Amino acid sequence: MKRCTHNNVYTDCSPAAANAGFIRPPIDKRLAATTPSGRRTAEPLATQQDAMSNGWSFPGPLVLPDDDLALDPEYPPQSLKSWLSYNKKMPITAERNTIYVVPPPEITNSVKKMTKDWEKPHVPRESVTAGLPEGIPLPTTDDVCNYLRAFYHKMTIKKHEGKFRWQAWDSGSAKGPKYMGLATPKPSEELIGVRYRQSPDGIARIQVNLNDVLDALIDRVPPDAYAVVMLTDQDLYEDEDDDFCCGRAYGESRIAVVSSFRYNPALDGYSDIQLEHMWPASHCKSYVDALCDVDKQQPKRAKTSSNSPTTPLTAALNASKAVPNPKTRDELAGMWFSRVARTMAHELGHCLGMDHCVYYACAMQGTAGMAEDVRQPPYLCPVCLSKLSRGLCSFVGSGSVVNLQREFIQQRYNVLRDFCENWKHVAMFAGYQAWIDGRLEENREGVRE
C-alpha cells in the first residue's frame, strides 16, 4: 500500500473541536500566558510573538473525537503566572535539582510463578499484527535517563541505585483484593502491599494499583531529589472503574510512575494506532478528516494548509516519513522506547508543577487513550517552555531573566538535537530532530517560534 503523502495538514484545531465545544485560547491569551504578569505588555518574551501565532512551528491541539479535550473542553489553562505561584513553594535549587529514575522492580522467586509473562500482553486474535517478531526488547532505564537528561537540561538525572522487589504478600484472607508485596530498598526497608488484578479488557494477566506503588515511593524521596519516577513493565490501574492507566504523578509529592506495558507495539492493532499517522503526521488532513467524519457530519471547517517547504512541522513530517515502518526487533524496540520517553517527560512535568496544556499541541497535553497518546508531540509549546525555562534559567548564568530563558532554550534544543541524532532510525526522534533544526534556523533568522 502506498504511504500517505501528508500534503495537507491542520495547523489549528480539527473540525471536531468546535463540535465538542472546545475554544482554544486566542493568540493574545497565549502571549499573555508566557509573561509573569499574566498580561500582554511590551515586555520581551522568551519565545517571540511571530512563532506563537505560526501553526507551522507550534500547531494548535487537534482535539479529535474522544480526545481528552473533546471530553473535557473547558479544562482550565495554566499560565506562567499561575505556574510561578507553585514554583515559589517548591523551587528548583542547586541543593534540590535531581530527578531519580527507579528501574522496574525485580521479581523474587516467591512470585515468579504468579508473575510469569506478566509483561506480555494477551492480544485478541483479530487485533494481532501479522509478522510482528517475538521478544521485542523492553525500554531500558538507561535510555530513559539519557532522554530525560536532554529534555530536562540543567537538571541532574540519576538512576536510583536502591532495588525495589516484588515479593509474596500474606493478605490473611481469601476475600477482598489480592496483594503482592513491594519491598523497598535500604535504608528504609519496608514491605508495601500492592493490590493486583487481571485487567478488565483481558489484555494483562496482572495489573497493579498505581496508587499503592506510589505509596512505596512517597516516603523515599532522597534529600537532593526534586522528583522520583518509577518505570514499571507491568500494566497499571488507578481505581476499579479504570481499564488501565499508563502513568500518574503526584505533583506536590514529586513522585510519579510510568508503565511501558500499553506502549508495546504488539498492542497497536488493539489500540487502533496507525503507524504512519503518529506525530508529526497526526496533523495530516486526510487522516484527521476521516476521524472527524467530515463528509458525513459537515461540521464547521477548520483551517488547513498545504505543506510549507521550510518550516519545523514540514521538516518533521519529511524526516519521519523517510523512516521505514519498524519491522525488526531493534526497530520496534526504538519505537516502544520513544513512546515511553515522551510519557516519562510528561509525568515529570507534573512534578515540576506543569498542568495539562490547552494552548497548543504539546507534550503536556492530557490524553484519553493510546491512539491520542502517539498523536501528540514530544516538544514543549511556548507556554510550557516558558515555565521550564523560567524554573531552570538561573543555572545558565546571570543577567536578565528573559535573556537567560532564551539562552536556556537554545542550549536545551542543542542537547535534545544531539540525543535525537543517535536515535534518528526511530520516526518520532527523526521528526523531533528535524523540528528542532527548523526551530534553530528560525531563531538564527530572528523569527522565534
For the chain, domains (ranges, CATH) are: 8-90+274-323+359-444 (no CATH), 98-265 (3.40.390)
pLDDT tens series, the chain, 449 aa: 567 888 899 999 999 999 999 999 999 999 999 999 999 877 788 888 888 999 999 999 999 999 999 999 999 999 999 999 988 888 999 999 999 999 999 999 999 988 888 889 999 999 999 889 999 999 999 999 999 999 999 999 999 998 999 999 986 566 778 999 999 998 888 999 999 999 999 999 999 999 999 999 998 889 899 999 999 999 999 998 889 999 999 988 999 999 999 999 999 999 999 999 999 999 999 999 999 987 654 444 455 555 566 799 999 999 999 999 999 999 999 999 999 999 999 999 999 999 999 999 999 999 999 999 999 999 999 999 999 999 999 999 999 999 999 999 999 999 999 999 999 999 999 999 999 999 999 888 764 33
DSSP state of 245: B
Pairing mode of beta strands 247-250, 225-232: unpaired
pLDDT value at position 7? 86
Q: How many angstroms separate the most distant Cα atoms in the chain?
A: 69
Q: Of the candidates 79, 85, 30, which has an alpha carbon nearest to the alpha carbon of residue 55?
A: 30
pTM, 2 dp = 0.95
The answer to whether residues 383 and 45 touch, using CB atoms and an 8 Å cutoff, is no
Quote the pLDDT of residue 302: 52
Residue among 380, 392, 351 nearest 226 (CA): 351
Least Cα distance to 276 among 236, 335, 210 occurs for: 335
Using CA atoms in the order 432, 437, 443, 444, what is the torsion angle rounded to 10 degrees?
170
Predicted pLDDT of residue 304:
55
3-state secondary structure of 70: helix
- Any residues with CB less than 8 A from the CB of 86 and at least 6 apart, and which? 353
Note the pLDDT of residue 308.
64
